[in-house]
A and B are shown apart, each in its own frame.
Chain A
Amino acid sequence: MTAAHTQTPLPERNCFASAPWIATLLAVKALAQQPVSLWKSYVDSSAGRVLRFFSTLQELGAFAVITLGVTITKFNQSKRVVHPLIVHHIWKAGVNLLPMVGFVGVALGLLIIGQTVALLSRVGALEYIGTVMVTVVVRELGPLLTAILVLARSGTSNAVDLGTARALGEVEALESLGIDPVHYLVMPRVIGLAISVFCLTTYLVLLAMVSGWVFAFAQDIPLTPAAYFGQIGDALRVQDFVFLALKTGLFGIVIAVVNCYHGLARPLQIEEVSSVTTRAVVESVIGCVLIDALFLIGYLVV
């Protein structure tokens, strides 16, 4: 009798069941056997997301209306405290961003002229450079890029600051002192960001136009400054100025309201601050893009 015959046989088992790929296959098979419940859970989760989206939208709208009401009724109340805060937020969201926005403005001018000038000179349409600059920089990219820069630099810091203040109970402390948190914390940020986005966009647009001409000049394009800025002047319409002011102001308001809402609206734990900041950034970008789309319709209609 050999040694093999004397060994006790191993208990029968599926030795592959523990392999990761088999486990995955088994899981997929199990899911496939429950198509109805999977579909139902998908619908439930999608419906839940849609409902949550509309609920958040409604709450954001209510928060914006409250902020507007406070701004109208209390703008001149406690001036010694609140007005310096507006200046502080213009400084923080506007003046501090001048170098960064300046860099982006110069780069934007170079990129747009660099990309379009070769194409336009090839088809003999150099007289449209001004129109391209106005359409791309003044109407679309300028305001949106500036808004995203302000969001990245100041919007997020607002969400973190206010979320931390909420988590540490500082907002309740303000209320106990009879200080309206919307008046003290939100209103200065909304006004500060609206003014900042408008001013920074104007700054970015001017720099992009000047740097665009410098690049064209450097490439020996036969375009005098008078002709270049004349083209831009011809392409600009009155509604461009009005829409630029409205759009950039709205971008600033949306960024401030969304970030302040997420920082303040509900009780937070300190560990939740990062997740609400992420949500605030995503919703701010969506808000700005939606506003941009609305203004696009406005440009087409007017």
Chain B
Amino acid sequence: MTAEPLIELREVDVAREGTDTVLVRTVNWQLARGDFWAVGGDQGCGKTALLATIAGLQRPAAGTVLIKGRDLTDAPEAEQMKWRRQIGFVFEGTGRLLSHLRVADNIALPLQYHLDLSDEAAHAKVTDLLTRAGLADLANTWPSRLSPRQQQQISLLRALAVPTEVVFLDNPLSGLGLSGVRWWLEFLEALRAERPITVVATCHDHHEWRKLPNHRAMLEAGELHVISGAN
């Protein structure tokens, strides 16, 4: 008996956000707990829209997205929010940190909002995360003072602050130098050694992720092709 997939897409069409333009057609895809998927494809082929659809941030144009066997598309808001508490999403580019909060407050926000931690407890957790990531000196910096690379790193820490089951990474390695890429690979490797977190990452070139992903897929001509993996 195979375990129920964490996320399952059935006949899903993915549209560009806010439009009817379908970018990816008829996606049938299963993601199990602990998987690391790297999804490649050219710029504008629909990787971000696919990621947002799987994460439940965007409605599919057609088909069904099942989260732990349940379709959340028309589920009550409370249930959708409960799912979103279990995911982390690192947006492409600057990671979309909240510009009115300093770095430490950005990371502390989900902690205090969802877990109702006191200022001291949240501060201790944030300091621990920043120290493990080697970014402790950025705690009191405003997001606008950070480089895009640092903003995405902080965005990942913010996503991981609460107990997260799945992390969606939208092209975080794009435009990074060797040291930047190494940071992501080492951090994610250490994280996955610690807990079986599921990761779905997009990229232009699968080689960027080295040997970290155990599954790979490619978006091409509006279709998702699984190159290697469970499907």
User: Interface residues, chain A, CB within 8 Å of chain B?
Assistant: 78-81, 161, 164-165, 168-170, 172-180, 184, 267
Tell me if A169 and B96 are in contact (CB < 8 A): yes
Instruction: Give the contacts of B87-142 with A (CB-CB under 8 A).
Output: 87-89, 91, 94, 96-100, 109-110, 112-114, 116-119
Tell me if B98 and A170 are in contact (CB < 8 A): yes
Point out the residues of chain B lying under 8 angstroms from A78, CB to CB.
112-114, 116
**Does B1 count as interface, using CB distance less than 8 angstroms?**
no
Tell me if B57 and A172 are in contact (CB < 8 A): yes
**Does B158 count as interface, using CB distance less than 8 angstroms?**
yes
Tell me if B109 and A179 are in contact (CB < 8 A): yes
Given A168-B99, A177-B110, answer yes or no on A80-B118 (Cβ-Cβ < 8 Å).
yes
Tell me if A177 and B57 are in contact (CB < 8 A): no
B117 to chain A, nearest CB (A): 7
Tell me if B116 and A79 are in contact (CB < 8 A): yes
Across chains A and B, which 6 residue pairs bring their CB atoms closest together, nearest first? A178-B84, A176-B89, A173-B96, A178-B85, A169-B96, A78-B113
A sample of 12 cross-chain residue pairs with beta-carbon separation below 8 angstroms, ordered by A number, consists of: A80-B119, A170-B99, A175-B57, A175-B84, A176-B88, A177-B85, A177-B89, A177-B110, A178-B81, A178-B84, A178-B110, A179-B110
User: CA A174 – CA B96 in complex, angstroms?
Assistant: 9
B100 to chain A, nearest CB (A): 7
Point out the residues of chain A lying under 8 angstroms from B39, CB to CB.
none
Point out the residues of chain A lying under 8 angstroms from B97, CB to CB.
170, 173
Point out the residues of chain A lying under 8 angstroms from B82, CB to CB.
178
Tell me if A176 and B112 are in contact (CB < 8 A): no
A104 to chain B, nearest CB (A): 29
User: Interface residues, chain B, CB within 8 Å of chain A?
Assistant: 18, 55, 57, 77, 81-85, 87-89, 91, 94, 96-100, 109-110, 112-114, 116-119, 155, 158-159
B96 to chain A, nearest CB (A): 4
A79, A81, A172: the one within 8 Å of B109 (CB)? A81
Tell me if B91 and A169 are in contact (CB < 8 A): yes
A71 to chain B, nearest CB (A): 15
Tell me if B116 and A80 are in contact (CB < 8 A): yes
Further 18 A-B residue pairs, CB within 8 A, beyond A169-B96, A173-B155: A79-B116, A80-B112, A80-B118, A80-B119, A81-B112, A170-B96, A170-B98, A172-B91, A173-B91, A173-B98, A175-B57, A175-B84, A176-B57, A176-B88, A177-B89, A177-B109, A178-B113, A184-B113
Given A78-B113, A80-B116, A267-B18, answer yes or no on A168-B96 (Cβ-Cβ < 8 Å).
yes
B207 to chain A, nearest CB (A): 28
Looking across the interface, which residue of chain B has its beta carbon closest to that of A161? B100
A-side interface mostly: helix
B112 to chain A, nearest CB (A): 5
Most buried by A among B89, B98, B155, B158: B98
Looking across the interface, which residue of chain A has its beta carbon closest to that of B114? A178
User: CA A21 – CA B91 in complex, angstroms?
Assistant: 56
Looking across the interface, which residue of chain A has its beta carbon closest to that of B100? A161
Tell me if B81 and A180 are in contact (CB < 8 A): yes
User: CA A175 – CA B119 in complex, angstroms?
Assistant: 23
User: CA A86 – CA B55 in complex, angstroms?
Assistant: 31
Point out the residues of chain B lying under 8 angstroms from A172, CB to CB.
57, 91, 96
Tell me if B112 and A177 are in contact (CB < 8 A): no
User: CA A164 – CA B100 in complex, angstroms?
Assistant: 11
A81, A165, A170: the one within 8 Å of B113 (CB)? A81
A76 to chain B, nearest CB (A): 11
Point out the residues of chain A lying under 8 angstroms from B55, CB to CB.
176
User: CA A161 – CA B83 in complex, angstroms?
Assistant: 28
Looking across the interface, which residue of chain A has its beta carbon closest to that of B119? A80
Given A168-B96, A169-B96, answer yes or no on A80-B84 (Cβ-Cβ < 8 Å).
no
Tell me if B96 and A80 are in contact (CB < 8 A): no
Point out the residues of chain A lying under 8 angstroms from B100, CB to CB.
161, 165
Looking across the interface, which residue of chain A has its beta carbon closest to that of B57? A176
User: CA A161 – CA B81 in complex, angstroms?
Assistant: 24
Given A78-B112, A78-B113, A81-B109, answer yes or no on A177-B99 (Cβ-Cβ < 8 Å).
no
Looking across the interface, which residue of chain A has its beta carbon closest to that of B168? A176
Point out the residues of chain B lying under 8 angstroms from A179, CB to CB.
109-110, 113
User: CA A184 – CA B100 in complex, angstroms?
Assistant: 13
Most buried by A among B18, B88, B116: B116
Tell me if A165 and B99 are in contact (CB < 8 A): yes
User: CA A175 – CA B89 in complex, angstroms?
Assistant: 10
Looking across the interface, which residue of chain A has its beta carbon closest to that of B117? A80
Point out the residues of chain B lying under 8 angstroms from A180, CB to CB.
77, 81
User: CA A172 – CA B94 in complex, angstroms?
Assistant: 13
